[in-house]
């Protein structure tokens, strides 16, 4: 039987990083519906993120997106975060919104564009130095829309060159996290479309280069937990971008579309020894129609519930069933953990952390939503700037 | 053997409708890259559409999107079009960009929102009366992002009510074309997700309600030509929104991703007697990174080439192979047409139409791109307004 | 709050039909792995099915597959079943294994083959008369592997003709259930590939023709619960073939791949008033590598658990959240039911039924597996005969 | 402009390997339809393969499948082949049909089963020594059907151990080709599901380990030509298993489902310098309903046509358009080659090879089908033995 105190301890020490941009407006190509109370600055995003941490107790880290979160003084921003009980986390580079990047950034045919993109990536490492961030997350929108548009292989050469330059610039405690994505915004060939491509590049770069798994970035039918197990086995799992999907990169709340998949994935994390701080557990979501802060709280809770169930799997019983070829028995051990209602366990974990056992209710009672709606009525709400 | 004069005649009489919005800016949720020379008004879109018709000879109809193409005087706009050798076609309603539509339009839980959406649809019929348009195309972004968000079945009831009200309003020569789409922007349940749903509603509405097939709106693996054959058999194929895709609703140029599929689809159109004017052959595409006018010209040409190949299928030989169970022989008859290089045939069709046999080259020589780049340097370019 | 006695009553009265063929051997095109103790006759399949009912209390009906379950005296077979506490259910026709059906059965180009297939279907209605079965389930493997191989539309005409003949033959208490499937064994165009096609045919046939939803027969990303809601709204949901899948028609145990999907689907059944006997809740699975009887017991339990959760949804709370546009609140009501551990509830339901609360454990204790392994060591095991 | 003599020379020197098992019976899990004249022995398969080579001129190599093609004297079989103008090629191991392999072969939990599987793989290298084959192709059906059934990561360890043992056994001119497949027959987690996994293993094994791309083994939407380009860049493309698909691993004739994809793939081969003998161009198909020999001839021709079109791409024009960011121009260069009717070019290539320009017609005229139908009327036809 699982060691419940150890499970509780693991749940209490879990850290889930929330993305600054999820507090801002987002939408689809058809429409961005704005919401009342949305932050107008990086500082206000941190204010909201601090509420998520206050109510969940496990979300003390906030990822930034440059240039959406560009400020004059990053040390001051880090200090602002600390004052609110959170800290700055992963720096996300953005080389997909400048007009020059229409046909690519680091893989663009023109050297000047590649240089510009690389400069931005290097600037992000400068920012990491200032914020004390460990991880640089690189997602490239680079790719092509039409067969023949550009040379697939040459673009890999250009990509490798840029990644190498960034890698050389890293401090010894910093990491480069390379994210892959099947498609969107590129609709024919994406330059880093799958874990194999990200893995091949990271392998050549060295131990500080790691792969990020965004749970919404795969082809239909892909077994994501298999990829997690593979990357852990290879020592190349840098972290996650959690969200959920029914169709494409829908960016719904983690655990909303397929909670069983999230559980299986967290099981492989636990089994592969990946639950520690070397794995960055990040959310990357878009709350297009639902209120953002409670949606993020719910997402954090969903990751917690999946983690709790994964920790509850009876390892010895599972191993015994597996090695004896008992297909139904082994499956039943896993399902027994999944079918457990872990909400009481997490309520008690929260009580031990000194927070309300019902984070969503506590948030709604807090008056924060009314407060920010009133205080942030004017000005320009944050968004993707697309 | 196919009757070449009849094939040529069919190709000369083919009509492909281009969408006003394809001349404007478009993009993804990540970025809309603007392009020089993009129209700033419905009139300028018609100017560009007239060039496409001038160079292809088969694109004299232009679809409008309301409110993107809202003008004070639609009769004047129709006259403007006629003066440039084109005419106004299908009216596309838009009930997905008003802030009230965040949770739906005609399927929204609130009666007031539904009423507002219905009023817009009825306004579109008024516009049709003014423009002389035959078809009202209805695509609803309505749907839900999360299980439980709203009641799937009740939304169908609300949808049926709105469709019925619109149908009652139609003039006797007008049609309601109902479009379906698997997902986006709704990411859990779309209210009209597939042809079965559109068909079920159109059947109840009556003969003036017809289904539109957008080639990018299906689940992976869907056999679209089967749907075409079914709808033709049921007398319910109202038209097409052509575009192409590798992944989701990529909205690439028609024929760019899978020209063989476009050919198979056109073959079913020809075989099912659907090549006449009762079927609206429309493009619905986004030229996010490529110049728009030549991309539309190329798309029109791709539809023509697929049509030409479909017309070249040796019907008697195919029927004989099919009825004798000759799998390879029947397939070979179809492939023989597909593998034919029909570009010389289309060049001669164009010469008979009195236009340049190479539309793209003729466009590039025309100086139009330089002219609009210079003349449209100022002002607000047209786009989706998302 | 849900009315627990009513929930229990509903769960006690639920009826899940198990398929005779799931007790026999099955496999993939690569290999059929046989298992010890597999039945060698329809009677032995009924013996096994009776054990499933004995341990679950809700599986008293057994579907037959003709010719796999062909016997000389169907009335005697029905009597045999009754003596063991079960009864014969849906008759499944098989027109895909005769050499004549290589290119189709009722849609074949040759009239003689079509006639042969139709005769088999009519024979199945004769069998229904003898067994007292209500439902004839028709799944057609018919389709084509190559574009052009046969005429898509003409095959629909042939299909309609055969369906009409069968429909005319039905007794007034009998039904024709038409099943659709995206692909396999046809790899280009399947003649009944989607619910829209099945619906269109059933609509023309009349009220005794209904659609069957096999949960493994859709394209990736298809929202199956939407289809369920649509068919219930149209009065055309005849029943289910439950199984689960990660990729194609994997035919894994119901609820094994995506238990949340099964819950959503059962929620739509409950919400749409489809939980009664007019809906045939059938399993259609292949236990290729796991022991068959406990796998079927587990599948029945999985359907029960999904049903229990669906019944526990707080309807008024859900409706209130939905009508007020509370996206997160509405989703939370649904998830609250899903996250409930219903195993204690089902244990008490079983105790009220007078059976062991743990059906799998009770089966393992029963000694049945050892008994059939010993008694059925000789002879020809039942299978698909492929 | 392309150098036509060089194109012709490349087409004349192309070598396409046909699989012995494609000459035998195959089918789906629903039914294997036998065909008249199917070979009853490895020798008769070679007789048929020799006809394919005689009519195409580019298919002199025949892949074997062990144990389906097990003979007492492989040297004699090689001699038999040579006497008919062909030679033995890749040895395909089969560790998925023995009853012991129900839960896996080299990844099975039991050491004795793993040992048995490894012994078979080593036996295949012995056979390679006897036949003079260069390549050992390894496709593993290994995987699991249910979450938890076995440990994903431990199975990788077992796989690595077996691969290493085989690799050590290779002669210096022999290669291990590792094939990946998304799913089937495993329906939850396949042990080598994607190119990333195959690549990771081959990288550790060494330069004689290479990846095989089966064009039917990917998730929907996967850009296969990207994988080809990546593997060529990494020096890890060992070869292809050509076939085509609309849905899953349909194993239709190469080029039948998406000829444009086959062209794009061959373009990346040409562009990446992969057209030489270091790449094994193999067919791996199932002719379930069509006559096998003409289907294989057609498949060879389809690969040739795709190759011809790829060779006709105007490289300098393409590069110029690509480097200048001319999206439509670059795409047009590629499409110009694709839209070319290369059948006359291939007819002349065949005439230069001294064979009939129409291989299918020549085969039909040859009388071979009638001859084998008559001569092979008795005995046990070859098949998969599933």
For C13-50, write each residue's pLDDT tens digit.
999 999 999 999 999 999 999 999 999 999 999 999 99
Q: Quick one: which H or E segment has residue C210?
A: strand C209-214
Cβ contact C171:C127 at 8 Å: no
| DSSP-derived secondary structure letter, A324 | T
Cross-chain residue pair D384–C103, CB shorter than 8 Å: no
**Alpha-carbon distance B223 to B231, whole Å?**
13
Name the pLDDT band for A1 (thresholds 50, 70, 90). low
* Neighbouring C-alpha atoms within 13 Å toward the C-beta of B373: 10
CA D145 to chain C, closest CA, distance in angstroms equals 8
Q: What percent of chain C has pLDDT over 70?
A: 99
Angle D294-D300-D301 (CA atoms, 0-180°, nearest 5)? 90
- The residue written with tokens 């979300």 in the block is A59
CA D238 to chain B, closest CA, distance in angstroms equals 26
**Alpha-carbon distance B165 to B118, whole Å?**
8
Question: Subunits touching D (CB < 8 Å, at least 3 pairs)?
Answer: A, B, C
C-alpha distances out from residue A246 to A243, B219, B309, C223, Å: 11, 11, 37, 9
Task: State how beta strands D189-190 and D143-144 pair.
Answer: antiparallel
**Alpha-carbon distance A358 to A366, whole Å?**
12
- Report pLDDT for D2: 76
- Report pLDDT for C385: 76
Q: Is A378 on the interface with C (CB under 8 A)?
A: no
CA B277 to chain D, closest CA, distance in angstroms equals 28
Helix, strand, or coil here: C189? strand
Q: Is A309 on the interface with C (CB under 8 A)?
A: no
Please compute the mean of the pLDDT values over residues A292-307 and round it to a whole number: 98
The domains found in chain D, sorted by start residue, are: 14-310+356-375 (3.20.20.150)
Helix, strand, or coil here: D347? helix
Q: Does the pLDDT of residue D385 top 90, yes or no?
A: no
Instruction: Produce one character per residue of C215-235: b if its CB has 16 or more CB atoms within 10 Å, e if not.
Output: bbbbbbbbbbbbbbbbbbbbe
- The count of residues in chain D is 386
Q: Is D111 on the interface with A (CB under 8 A)?
A: no
- Report pLDDT for C386: 58
For the record, the structure tokens of A220 come out as 């239909």
Residue spans of chain B under pLDDT 70? 1, 386
Query: What residues in B contact A288, CB-CB < 8 Å?
Result: 145, 185
- Report pLDDT for D386: 58
C-alpha distances out from residue A138 to A90, A120, A214, B38, Å: 10, 11, 12, 33
| DSSP-derived secondary structure letter, A341 | -
For the record, the structure tokens of A253 come out as 């709340």
For the record, the structure tokens of A297 come out as 């709280």
Query: What residues in D contact C145, CB-CB < 8 Å?
Result: 250, 252, 288-290
User: Going by C-beta distance under 8 Å and a sequence separation of 6 or more, which residues neighbour residue D69?
Assistant: D20, D42, D45, D77
Residue of B nearest to D296 (CA): B328
C-alpha distances out from residue B272 to A250, B30, B84, B337, D380, Å: 37, 41, 34, 18, 45
CA B98 to chain A, closest CA, distance in angstroms equals 9
Query: What residues in B contact C199, CB-CB < 8 Å?
Result: 196, 199-200
- The residue written with tokens 């790449």 in the block is D279
Residue D297: alpha-carbon gap to chain centroid: 14
Query: What residues in D contact C182, CB-CB < 8 Å?
Result: 247
Q: Does the pLDDT of residue D265 top 90, yes or no?
A: yes
**Alpha-carbon distance C111 to C98, whole Å?**
16
> Which of B220, B256, B343 lies at the smallest CB-CB distance from D221?
B220
Q: Phi and psi dihedrals of C210, rounded to 5?
A: -135, 160
Helix, strand, or coil here: D148? coil
Residue of C nearest to A299 (CA): C328
Question: Subunits touching A (CB < 8 Å, at least 3 pairs)?
Answer: B, C, D
Region at C185 (left for phi over 0; alpha for psi -120 to 50; beta for the rest): alpha
> Which of D220, D248, D256 lies at the smallest CB-CB distance from C146?
D256
Query: What residues in C contact A289, CB-CB < 8 Å?
Result: 327
- Report pLDDT for B2: 76
Task: Tell me which residue of A25, C271, A52 sits closest to B147, measured CA to CA.
Answer: C271
Residue of A nearest to C299 (CA): A328
Task: State how beta strands B143-144 and B189-190 pair.
Answer: antiparallel
C-alpha distances out from residue B78 to B40, B134, B138, B220, B284, Å: 18, 13, 21, 39, 21
CA D159 to chain A, closest CA, distance in angstroms equals 12
Name the pLDDT band for D1 (thresholds 50, 70, 90). low
pLDDT tens per residue across span D94-143: 999 999 999 999 999 999 999 999 999 999 999 999 999 999 999 999 99
Residue of D nearest to A224 (CA): D189
| DSSP-derived secondary structure letter, B22 | G
Angle D116-D121-D124 (CA atoms, 0-180°, nearest 5)? 130
Please give the interface size between B and D, counted as residue pairs whose CB atoms are below 8 Å apart. 50
Please give the interface size between B and C, counted as residue pairs whose CB atoms are below 8 Å apart. 162
**Alpha-carbon distance D172 to B249, whole Å?**
50
Q: Is C325 on the interface with A (CB under 8 A)?
A: no
Interface with A, mutate which of C259, C263, C333, C358 (most A CBs under 10 A): C259
Angle C251-C257-C260 (CA atoms, 0-180°, nearest 5)? 125
- Report pLDDT for B283: 98
CA C227 to chain D, closest CA, distance in angstroms equals 21
Cβ contact B175:B135 at 8 Å: yes
Q: Which residues are registered as beta bridge partners of A31?
A: A28
Name the pLDDT band for A2 (thresholds 50, 70, 90). confident
Mean pLDDT of chain D: 97
Radius of gyration of chain D (CA): 21
* Neighbouring C-alpha atoms within 13 Å toward the C-beta of A171: 14
Helix, strand, or coil here: C56? helix
Task: Tell me which residue of A221, A304, A293, A207 sits closest to A259, measured CA to CA.
Answer: A304
Residue of A nearest to B295 (CA): A146
| DSSP-derived secondary structure letter, B4 | H
Name the pLDDT band for A205 (thresholds 50, 70, 90). very high
**Alpha-carbon distance A245 to A242, whole Å?**
10
Cβ contact A292:A299 at 8 Å: no
Q: Is A335 on the interface with B (CB under 8 A)?
A: no
DSSP for B265-329, please give it: HHHHHHHTT--STTSEEEE----SSS-HHHHHHHHHHHHHHHHHHHHHS-HHHHHHHHHTT-HHH
C-alpha distances out from residue C194 to C181, C182, C199, Å: 6, 6, 9
Instruction: Locate all alpha helices (DSSP H) within A182-287, ordered by sequence.
Output: 195-205, 224-234, 259-271
For the record, the structure tokens of B281 come out as 């052959």
Query: What residues in D contact B291, CB-CB < 8 Å?
Result: 327-328
Cross-chain residue pair D246–C187, CB shorter than 8 Å: yes
Query: What residues in B contact A246, CB-CB < 8 Å?
Result: 183, 187-188
Angle B303-A152-D275 (CA atoms, 0-180°, nearest 5)? 95
Cβ contact A317:A335 at 8 Å: no
This prediction has a pTM of 0.98
Q: What percent of chain A has pLDDT over 90?
A: 98
Cross-chain residue pair C343–A339, CB shorter than 8 Å: yes
Q: Which residues are registered as beta bridge partners of D93?
A: D66
Question: Subunits touching B (CB < 8 Å, at least 3 pairs)?
Answer: A, C, D
Handedness of CA A58, A60, A66, A70 (dihedral sign): positive
- Angle of the A42-56 helix axis to the A74-83 helix axis, nearest 10: 30
- The residue written with tokens 């020209």 in the block is B259
**Alpha-carbon distance B222 to C222, whole Å?**
11
């Amino acid at each position: 039987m699982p060691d419940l105190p150890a499970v509780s301890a693991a749940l209490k020490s879990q850290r889930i990083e929330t993305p600054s941009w999820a507090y801002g407006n987002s939408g689809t190509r058809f429409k961005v519906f704005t919401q009342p109370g949305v932050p107008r600055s990086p500082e206000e995003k941190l204010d909201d993120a601090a509420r998520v941490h206050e109510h969940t107790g496990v979300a003390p880290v906030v990822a930034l997106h440059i240039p959406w979160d560009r400020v004059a003084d990053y040390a001051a921003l880090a200090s602002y975060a600390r004052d609110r009980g959170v800290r700055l986390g992963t720096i996300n580079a953005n080389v997909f919104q400048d007009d020059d990047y229409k046909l690519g950034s680091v893989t663009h045919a023109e050297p000047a564009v590649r240089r510009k993109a690389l400069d931005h990536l290097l600037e992000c490492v400068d920012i990491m130095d200032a914020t004390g961030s460990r991880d640089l997350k690189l997602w490239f929108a680079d790719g092509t829309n039409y067969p023949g548009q550009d040379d697939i292989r040459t673009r890999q050469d250009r990509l490798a060159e840029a990644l190498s330059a960034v890698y050389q610039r890293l401090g010894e405690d910093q990491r480069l996290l390379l994210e892959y994505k099947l498609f969107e915004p590129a609709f024919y060939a994406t330059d880093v479309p799958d874990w194999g491509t990200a893995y091949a590049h990271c392998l050549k770069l060295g131990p500080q280069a790691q792969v990020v798994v965004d749970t919404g970035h795969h082809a239909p039918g892909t077994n994501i937990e298999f990829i997690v197990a593979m990357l852990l086995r290879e020592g190349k799992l840098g972290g996650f971008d959690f969200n959920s999907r029914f169709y494409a990169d829908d960016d719904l709340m983690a655990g909303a579309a397929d909670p069983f998949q999230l559980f299986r994935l967290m099981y492989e994390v636990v089994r592969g020894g990946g639950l520690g701080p070397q794995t960055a557990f990040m959310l990357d979501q878009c709350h297009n129609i639902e209120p953002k802060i409670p949606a993020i709280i719910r997402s954090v809770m969903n990751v917690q519930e999946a983690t709790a169930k994964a920790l509850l799997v009876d390892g010895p019983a599972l191993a015994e069933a597996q090695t004896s070829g008992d297909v139904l028995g082994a499956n039943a051990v896993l399902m027994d953990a999944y079918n457990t209602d872990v909400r009481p366990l997490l309520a008690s974990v929260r009580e031990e952390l000194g927070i309300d056992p019902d984070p969503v209710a506590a948030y709604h009672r807090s008056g924060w939503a009314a407060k920010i709606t009133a205080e942030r009525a004017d000005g320009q709400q944050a968004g993707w700037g697309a």
